[in-house]
């Protein structure tokens, strides 16, 4: 495939979670187009596996979806340089009130690669140790526990559609739950 080149990047809006740019792109056939681009610091997520093998999930209202979603714990990086494992472990404790005795890398996702740079590194947390939730002042989550099979059923029934959670549960099921 011939190379596509960015000729210009113009900052349109700097928001709390991302920066919105318009990129002027040049194509091998000589055409040009303006593409939208959201620059994101990145995020991390974690699959908390309890001693009985069930997965600890968080249910919370998501404004852009206009409804509650069932997800694995996750959050944005504090800076582009923050190690994603550190962020995943922080989010685990903040949202669930547990620390991981052991954690390992599982998979990475690109949330919406057509227009956003957000990459989410996903880990698995095992040997959970009770700690304390540290929710943000406007963060309201309910904790739920589900079997891997039940979560897979919820994915294929369309009840779980958050992309990082779908990828994480299916990757976990394939790697650990065969």
List, by residue number, the catalytic residues: 137
Task: Please state, in angstroms and rounded to a whole number, the distance separating the CA atoms of residues 143 and 161.
Answer: 18
Helix (H, G, I), strand (E, B) or coil at 70: strand
Note whether 89 and 46 are within 8 A (CB). yes
Distance CA 107, CA 122 (A): 5
Nearest Cα neighbor of 145 from 46, 69, 58, 60 is 58
């Amino acid at each position: 495939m011939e190379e596509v080149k960015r000729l210009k990047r113009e900052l349109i809006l700097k928001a709390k979670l991302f920066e919105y740019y318009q990129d002027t792109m040049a194509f091998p056939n000589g055409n040009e187009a303006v593409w939208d681009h959201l620059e994101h610091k990145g995020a991390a997520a974690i699959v908390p596996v309890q001693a009985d093998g069930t997965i600890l999930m968080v249910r919370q209202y998501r404004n852009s979806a206009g409804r509650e979603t069932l997800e694995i714990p996750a959050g944005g990086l504090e800076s582009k340089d923050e190690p994603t494992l550190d962020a995943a472990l922080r989010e685990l404790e903040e949202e669930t009130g547990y620390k991981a005795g052991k954690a390992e890398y599982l998979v990475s996702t690109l949330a919406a690669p057509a227009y956003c740079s957000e990459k989410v590194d996903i880990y698995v947390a095992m040997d959970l140790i009770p700690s304390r939730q540290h929710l943000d002042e406007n963060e309201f989550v309910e904790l739920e526990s589900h079997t891997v099979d039940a979560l897979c059923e919820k994915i294929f029934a369309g009840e779980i559609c958050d992309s990082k959670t779908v990828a994480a549960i299916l990757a976990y099921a394939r790697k650990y739950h065969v």
